[in-house]
Amino acid sequence: MSDSSTKLYEGVCDRFEQTASYVNLDAKVHAILSQPKAELMIHFPVKMDDGSYQLFKGYRIQHNNLLGPYKGGMRFSPEVSLDEVKGLAMLMTLKCALAKLPLGGAKGGIKYNPDDHSPEENQRITRRFTLALGHNIGPSYDIPAPDMGTNAQYMDWIMDTYHNLYGRKVEDKAVVTGKSVACGGSVGRASATGFGAVYCLEEWARESGQPLVGAKFAIQGFGNVGSHAALKLEELGATLVAVNDHTATLIHPEGISAKALAEYVQQHRGIKGFQPDHEVDDIRQFWSQDVEFLVLAAMENVVTKNNADLIRAKLIVEGANGPVTTKAEAILLDKGIQIIPDILANMGGVIVSYFEWVQNRNSEYWSAVTVDTKLREKLIAAYHSVVEIAGKQNVSMRQAAYVEALQHLEEVYLKRGVWP
């Protein structure tokens, strides 16, 4: 188990415990939410292109389904571990509660690197994993979505496997979200998380009197979330001056074209080589950029007590899950740097996943304008409820987001009761 995933799990649990005692959470609700409802760990063999067999380890953690079916991404990465998915599944429960969606929280994945395999092997791994999951997923029970290392193609394979194995029913499409539009995905799903993070940022900027035109921003991670956030910020007139991903760090005070970089990354799977003259070796230069906004869109625990002091941004937007450790957060808040927390900043993905699920169940296709308008409406409502709590109770936006989510779950538990 990697140190990073342990830290993520501990960080989520610490924040949950802090808020539970702050709101004096009902004892039975506290006990129920402190553990996932189910932890599934499976090993399955897959035939490789050379005829040999390799054994893979997959996970699905179902944290809570009080508000609706379990919902959460599938992460394919060598770093995936039980603790990592447990932490991420709890975050999904809180995120769906904060967004007021009729969905619960889950997360899963396979511990392997898809980049080390051919498309044919990746397809067989995904289909065999779906078979091994069996009825632990389903359109009314547990609905996966893309996450790190997976995309619409992987969701199409999961949906097709499930449909052929069990259903052959119209609603089978809703077994996963984040599918390609051709296979029943929603328009606007791929951009939803990155755009959603920027919609929160826009509200913050408006309320803080910070103009977006001419503002500078740095971004870590230029995959699905990072590239869409950068494209939207560029459209709003802000300038990208620094990017870091797993291949390189690029710094250019005159500005980097997010559009050109996104096209480059599509082909080269990383930012390395886009502007070699502006690549730097020392990542500390990235963290210490004099920018208005820092968008974290790569992975967990990247801002720690070791680099928090370097950061000079006015606002951090957590597109990724758990990118700032609890110790780093204390340092940043002390310096007056505000943080739009993950469960708020990156909820756009699960909101449009919910829209996709609704469309699939009703055999509907919504327009891009409808999806974007509804996304904005939900996000802005959540943003303002968090800001209001933070202001009234003099707590951070993260604490306020946890308060809102936990109190919603508590209210529903107390009204429904625990049966039998």
Residues 230-249: x where in contact with ligand NAD by CB under 6 A, - otherwise, as a string: --------------xxx---
Nearest to ligand NAD of 67, 297 (CB atom): 297
Site for ligand NAD contains 84 (CB under 6 A): no
Q: How far is the CB of 53 from ligand NAD (least distance, A)?
A: 27
Binders of ligand NAD in range 335-374 (CB under 6 A): 346, 349
Distance CA 105, CA 30 (A): 16
Pick between residue 26 and residue 79 the one whose CB is nearest to ligand NAD.
Answer: 79
Work out whether 289 is an interface residue with ligand NAD (CB under 6 A).
Answer: no
Choice between 248 and 387, CB closer to ligand NAD: 248
Select the span of 26-34, 113-121, 251-259, 314-322 touching ligand NAD (CB under 6 A). 314-322
* Number of chain residues interacting with ligand NAD (CB under 6 A): 24
Choose the stretch contacting ligand NAD; rule: CB under 6 A; options: 120-128, 197-205, 253-261, 294-302: 294-302
Residue 224 sits in the site that holds ligand NAD (CB under 6 A): yes
d(CA 283, CA 126): 35
Number of residues assigned to the chain: 420
- Does 226 interact with ligand NAD (rule: CB under 6 A)? yes
CA distances from 306 to 48, 265, 310, 332 (A): 42, 29, 9, 12
Question: Angle formed by the axes of helices 82-98 and 397-416, to 10°?
Answer: 80
Residue range at the interface with ligand NAD (CB under 6 A); choices 9-17, 144-152, 274-282, 391-399: 144-152
**From the list 97, 133, 230, 297, which residue makes contact with ligand NAD (rule: CB under 6 A)?**
297
Closest residue by Cα to residue 332 from 243, 396, 238, 262:
396
- Of 305, 290, 277, 199, the C-alpha closest to 239 is 290
Three-point CA angle 258, 371, 385, nearest 5°: 90
Closer CB to ligand NAD, 69 or 149, in the complex: 149
Nearest residue to ligand NAD, scored by beta-carbon proximity: 223
Facing residues of 84 across strands? none
> Toward ligand NAD, which CB reaches closer, 20 or 344?
344
- Residues 6 or more apart whose Cβ sits within 8 Å of residue 206: none
Query: Angle 175-359-178 (CA atoms, 0-180°, nearest 5)?
Result: 50
SS3 content of the chain, % helix, strand, coil (to 5): 50, 20, 30
Residue of 7, 86, 107, 179 marked active site: 107
Cα–Cα distance measured from residue 232 to residue 194, given in angstroms and rounded to the nearest whole number: 8
Distance CA 300, CA 12 (A): 11
C-beta of 214: minimal distance to ligand NAD in Å?
Answer: 26
What CA–CA distances, in Å, run from 213 to 13, 218, 257, 339?
39, 15, 15, 21
Task: Tell me which of 81, 275, 321, 396 binds ligand NAD, using CB under 6 A.
Answer: 321
Q: Is 319 in the site for ligand NAD (CB under 6 A)?
A: yes
CB of 197 to ligand NAD, least distance (A): 9
Among 83, 121, 147, 292, binds ligand NAD (CB under 6 A): 147
For the chain, what is the total number of helices (H) and then of strands (E)?
14, 12
In whole angstroms, what is the distance from residue 60 CA to residue 36 CA? 11
Can residue 99 be called a binding residue for ligand NAD (CB under 6 A)? no
Instruction: Examine residue 221 and tell whether it contacts ligand NAD (CB under 6 A).
Output: yes
Is 335 noted as a catalytic residue in this protein? no
Nearer to ligand NAD, 154 or 413 (CB): 154
Tell me the closest approach of the beta carbon of residue 328 to ligand NAD, in angstroms. Answer: 16
What is the set of active-site residues? 107
The binding site for ligand NAD (CB under 6 A) comprises 146-149, 193, 220-226, 244-246, 270, 297-299, 319-321, 346, 349
